[in-house]
A and B are shown apart, each in its own frame.
Chain A
Amino acid sequence: MHQIIHCYTKYILYLCIMKAEFMENWHTQLRKGLLPFFVFIILEKKKCYGYELIQDIKVEFDIDVGEGTLYPLLVRLAKEGLLTHQWEEQPSGIPRKYYSISLEGKSALATMKSYAGLIFKKINE
C-alpha cells in the first residue's frame, strides 16, 4: 500500500512538472509570436532606439525581452520594409539608432490588430 501511494505521488509530481513545462513553453512561444506586434504598437506612438524599446516593452507589456531576441527581430522587420531607421548624433558622440514604423508596417499592424481582436473575441465567446 505504501509503495502504491509513493508511486502515485511520484506520478502526480511528474504531471505537475510536465504541466509547468508545457505552460512555460506556451508562454515563451506566445511572447515570441507577439513580439513584432508589441514592437509595432510602441513604434506607432513614437520612434525608439533599441534600449528604449526594451524598456518600453517591459513597462507596457510586462515582458523582459532579451537583446539577443530583439535586435535580430528589428533587422528582419527592417529588411521586410516594415520598419525604417535613422542614426541621430548625440552630445556624447555615441549616436542612437532610432526605429520608426513604415507605412507598410502600419498596414501590417492594422491587420494584426483586427486579427488579434477576432481571436480574443472568439476566446471570450
Chain B
Amino acid sequence: MKAIPFDNHSAQRVYNDYIQRCRKATAILSAKDREEVLLEINSHIYEYLCANSTADQMEALLNVLERLGAPEETLREMVATKKIGEATRTFNPKHLIQALALNLTNGVLYIILSVLFLLEIVFPVLIMLKLIYPDRVGLFIHSNGTFLYGYISKAGSGGISIGFSNPARGTEILGSWFIPVSLLIAVLIYIGIIFFLKFAKKIKMKQNESI
C-alpha cells in the first residue's frame, strides 16, 4: 500500500498512527483481506483530502479521520463479515473459531453455532475414551426407550453424554462402529456450522421479510 505523503510533519504522524491502528484492527484477517481493507481506507482518506485540498491539510485530515471513526470500532463489523467469508471459504477451524467469536454479539444464531462448535470437542474425547474404556462408551439403548450416546461411569450414571441419560445401563449397540459414527457426526456438525454461517445473513433477511 502506497502511503499518502503530507507536507505537514504533524499530519504525517497522525496519518501514520491511524493506518497503524487500522493494521492492528485488521490483524486477525488474512493478508489479502487485510490489504484490501487498508487500501480502501487509504483511498478514502486520499480522495477526501483531494476533494478538500483548499482547506488546511491537518484540518482536512482530522476531519476525515473523525468521519471514519476509531478503526477498532469502524472496522469491527467489516472484519467480522470478512472473517465469516474466510471461515466458510477455507473450512479452517482457526478461522471458524475467530469468526464465531467476532460475531457472538450479532444474534442468537451465532450463540447456537458457538455451542455446537463446543460440542465438537466432545466427540474426540469420546473416541479417546472408547479406546481406553470400550465397554463404558457407546450408544446405550434402554428397554424403556431412552438412550445415551457417550460415556457411562462404573456406577451406571452418564459421564459425557448426548441424549436422554438413564442411570440404569442399557445395551450398547454400536460396538466398534462408535468411532466412525462419532467422526461422521462431528463432520456433519462442522459442515452444518459452516453452512449456517454462510447463510446466516440470508436466514436473518428471510426472518425480517416474514415479520
Q: Is the CB of B2 within 8 A of A67?
A: no
B12 CB to nearest chain A CB (Å): 15
Contacting residues, chain B, for A52 (C-beta < 8 A): 47
Q: Is the CB of A94 within 8 A of B74?
A: no
Q: Is the CB of B2 within 8 A of A68?
A: no
Which residues of chain B (1-31) have a CB below 8 Å from chain A?
2, 4
Instruction: Point out the residue from B46, B67, B81 that lies within 8 Å of A72, measured CB to CB.
Output: B81
| Residue in chain A with minimal CB distance to B77 | A72
Which residues of chain B (117-134) have a CB below 8 Å from chain A?
none
A91 CB to nearest chain B CB (Å): 12
Q: Is the CB of B44 within 8 A of A68?
A: no
Q: Is the CB of A50 within 8 A of B85?
A: no
1/0 per residue, CB under 8 A from B, across A92-118: the answer is: 111111000000000000000000000
| Residue in chain B with minimal CB distance to A70 | B44
Instruction: Point out the residue from B4, B40, B47, B74 that lies within 8 Å of A68, measured CB to CB.
Output: B74
Contacting residues, chain A, for B42 (C-beta < 8 A): 94
A51 CB to nearest chain B CB (Å): 4
1/0 per residue, CB under 8 A from A, across B84-125: the answer is: 110000000000000000000000000000000000000000
User: Provided the pairs A80-B201, A94-B2 are in contact, do residues A51 and B81 lie with their beta carbons within 8 angstroms?
Assistant: no
Cα distance A125–B4 in the bound complex, in angstroms:
54
| Residue in chain A with minimal CB distance to B68 | A67
Q: Is the CB of B2 within 8 A of A49?
A: no
Which residues of chain A (71-87) have a CB below 8 Å from chain B?
71-72, 75-76, 79-80, 87
A52 CB to nearest chain B CB (Å): 7
Instruction: Point out the residue from B43, B67, B77, B201 that lies within 8 Å of A66, measured CB to CB.
Output: B67
Instruction: Point out the residue from B43, B68, B201, B202 that lies within 8 Å of A95, measured CB to CB.
Output: B43
User: Provided the pairs A68-B74, A79-B85, A80-B202 are in contact, do residues A49 and B43 lie with their beta carbons within 8 angstroms?
Assistant: yes
Residue B196, interface by CB 8 Å: no
Residue B39, interface by CB 8 Å: yes
Contacting residues, chain B, for A93 (C-beta < 8 A): 2
Q: Is the CB of A71 within 8 A of B43?
A: no
Q: Is the CB of A68 within 8 A of B43?
A: no
Residue B155, interface by CB 8 Å: no
Q: Is the CB of B39 within 8 A of A67?
A: no
User: Provided the pairs A68-B73, A80-B202 are in contact, do residues A51 and B39 lie with their beta carbons within 8 angstroms?
Assistant: no
Contacting residues, chain B, for A96 (C-beta < 8 A): 43, 47
Contacting residues, chain B, for A95 (C-beta < 8 A): 39, 43
Cα distance A82–B89 in the bound complex, in angstroms:
18
Cα distance A66–B68 in the bound complex, in angstroms:
7
User: Provided the pairs A50-B44, A51-B48, A97-B39 are in contact, do residues A71 and B201 lie with their beta carbons within 8 angstroms?
Assistant: no
Q: Is the CB of B69 within 8 A of A68?
A: yes
Which residues of chain B (60-80) have a CB below 8 Å from chain A?
67-69, 73-74, 77-78
Residue B211, interface by CB 8 Å: no
Contacting residues, chain A, for B34 (C-beta < 8 A): none
Instruction: Point out the residue from B40, B69, B81, B201 that lies within 8 Å of A50, measured CB to CB.
Output: B40
